């Protein structure tokens, strides 16, 4: 099997799965319980929080555990809106955000909030000038993703954050789900107030994630109950999943420091090979892009047909984001970048991990060429 759908989810590291199993078997107590078993679970939770905070470069009391990226994004956006609506009702985001950001904003629009979507250029990159230029005296939140999940474009997070210092009442949220373990991000230097992470994007387990909340930033909780996570996110913590997430984050960061160059070489090889294929348009920008994502369109063909044809050869890629692919919604990111209707229909995404090899990339490219040739022959016969 060749797995190139790592932006949708990554294979959990074996050590991560074993860590989850050990904690689940031996330390299953509720961390809120007063007895010794609960105390041990609480101790593991505290240690994991400290480890994750160190890896993220933040303070431990700024890490709040959630069920993953979607919940963290919703908590950041809606929690800000509900807490600070008294001082403004304007939110700024971009036209290429993840659905968990877009849909949260649209729900707030129905409640009377004003949402401004900043357009991107042909590379999927937003202009810091445009973001700052949209700020008004009613703006309470700016939300911009770090790495685009479909094409891999890296947004000017630091520049936006530095320039937002002129607007101290505006809270700055960054969706770092695709960047964690792949692209460095200095949260404090970028002046970020809220930052989203999801474990299963860096070889942890699904259903675990965390939200960085800068000290002094207040949010309205979205989940009421036992007041866990310092009253911001109720619900018994998934201790085993959180411990496993800490291990996965450490292993992913080790890989990033040691193997990013190898990952870039594989990505660049795939881009070079795809660019010379007739009828194929590569959307991932050569510069200012993450090392693990390649997006391209086979003009005149359907992306889902290519995905299924590769799957029959035990090679797995995707079309758009996993959250949009099953309902066959055209890529909003590519549309915002100016892609044609044919390019939207024929879009595919190849996303890598540090576990992938150049040999796998070569095999995938060879197989893809064969599939495209056959599909184009069929198309020509049917014309």
Distance CA 192, CA 174 (A): 7
Q: What is the pLDDT of residue 37?
A: 84
Report phi then psi at 235, rounded to 5. 125, 135
- DSSP annotation of 96 reads T
3-state SS class at 170: coil
Other Cβ atoms less than 10 A from the Cβ of 226: the count is 12
pTM equals 0.95
Residues of 11-49 as b/e, b for ≥16 C-beta within 10 angstroms?
A: ebbeebbebbeebeeebebbbeeeeeebebbbebbeebb
Enter the tokens of residue 166. 């002129």
Q: What is the pLDDT of residue 38?
A: 87
Burial class (CB in 10 A: 0-12, 13-18, 19+), 163: middle
Enter the tokens of residue 262. 């190898």
Q: What is the pLDDT of residue 363?
A: 98
Q: Which residues make Cβ contacts (< 8 Å) with residue 18, sequence separation at least 6?
A: none
3-state SS class at 140: strand
Q: What is the pLDDT of residue 326?
A: 57
Q: Are strands 194-198 and 171-175 parallel, antiparallel or unpaired?
A: parallel
| Residue 323 annotated to the active site | yes
Q: What is the pLDDT of residue 320?
A: 74
Q: What is the pLDDT of residue 379?
A: 67
Q: What is the pLDDT of residue 375?
A: 85
Q: What is the pLDDT of residue 330?
A: 83
Residue 320 · residue 374 · CB < 8 Å:
no
H or E element in which residue 99 lies: helix 99-110
Task: State the DSSP string of 31-78.
Answer: TT-SSHHHHHHHHHHHHHHHHHHHHHTS-GGGEEEESSHHHHHHHHHH
Q: What is the pLDDT of residue 328?
A: 62
Residuewise pLDDT in 10s, the chain (383 residues): 999 999 999 999 999 999 999 999 999 999 988 899 888 999 999 999 999 999 999 999 999 999 999 999 999 999 999 999 999 999 999 999 999 999 999 999 999 999 999 999 999 999 999 999 999 999 999 999 999 999 999 999 999 999 999 999 999 999 999 999 999 999 999 999 999 999 999 999 999 999 999 999 999 999 999 898 999 999 999 999 999 999 999 999 999 999 999 999 999 999 999 999 988 999 998 778 999 999 999 999 999 999 999 999 999 999 975 555 555 678 899 999 999 999 999 999 999 999 999 999 999 999 999 999 988 887 666 66
The domains located in the chain, with CATH, are: 2-8+258-382 (3.90.1150.10), 14-250 (3.40.640.10)
Other Cβ atoms less than 10 A from the Cβ of 206: the count is 14
* Residue of 323, 329, 335, 362 with catalytic role: 323
Which residue do the tokens 């970020």 mark? 192
């Amino acid at each position: 099997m060749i797995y190139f759908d790592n932006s949708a989810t990554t294979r959990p590291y074996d050590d991560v799965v074993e860590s989850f199993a050990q904690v689940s078997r031996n330390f299953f107590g509720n961390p809120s319980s007063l007895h010794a078993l609960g105390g041990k679970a609480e101790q593991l939770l505290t240690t994991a929080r400290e480890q994750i905070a160190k890896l993220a470069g933040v303070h431990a009391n700024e890490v709040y555990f959630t069920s993953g990226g979607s919940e963290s994004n919703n908590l950041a956006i809606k929690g800000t809106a509900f807490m600070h609506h008294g001082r403004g009702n304007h939110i700024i985001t971009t036209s290429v955000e993840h659905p968990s950001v877009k849909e949260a904003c649209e729900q707030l629009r129905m409640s009377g909030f004003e949402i401004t979507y900043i357009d991107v250029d042909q590379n999927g990159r937003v202009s810091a000038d445009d973001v700052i230029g949209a700020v008004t005296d009613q703006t309470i939140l700016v939300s911009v993703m770090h790495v685009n999940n479909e094409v891999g474009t890296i947004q000017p997070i630091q520049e936006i954050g530095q320039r937002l210092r002129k607007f101290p009442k505006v809270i700055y949220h960054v969706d770092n789900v695709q960047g964690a373990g792949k692209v460095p991000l200095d949260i404090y230097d970028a002046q970020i107030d809220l930052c989203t992470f999801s474990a299963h994007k860096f070889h942890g387990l699904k259903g675990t994630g965390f939200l960085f909340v800068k000290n002094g930033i207040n949010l309205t909780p979205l989940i009421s109950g036992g007041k866990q996570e310092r009253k911001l996110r109720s619900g018994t913590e998934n201790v085993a999943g959180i411990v496993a997430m800490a291990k996965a984050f450490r292993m992913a960061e080790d890989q990033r420091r040691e193997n990013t160059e190898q990952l870039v070489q594989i990505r660049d090889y795939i881009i070079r090979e795809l660019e010379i294929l007739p009828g194929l348009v590569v959307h991932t920008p050569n510069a200012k892009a993450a090392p693990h994502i390649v997006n391209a369109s086979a003009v005149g063909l359907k992306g889902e047909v290519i995905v299924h044809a590769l799957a029959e050869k035990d090679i797995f890629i995707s079309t758009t984001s996993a959250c949009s692919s099953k309902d066959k919604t055209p890529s909003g990111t590519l549309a915002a970048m100016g892609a044609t209707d044919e390019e939207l229909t024929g879009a595919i995404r190849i996303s890598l991990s540090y576990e992938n090899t150049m040999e796998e990339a070569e095999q995938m490219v060879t197989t893809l060429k064969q599939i495209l040739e056959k599909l184009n022959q069929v198309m020509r016969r049917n014309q």
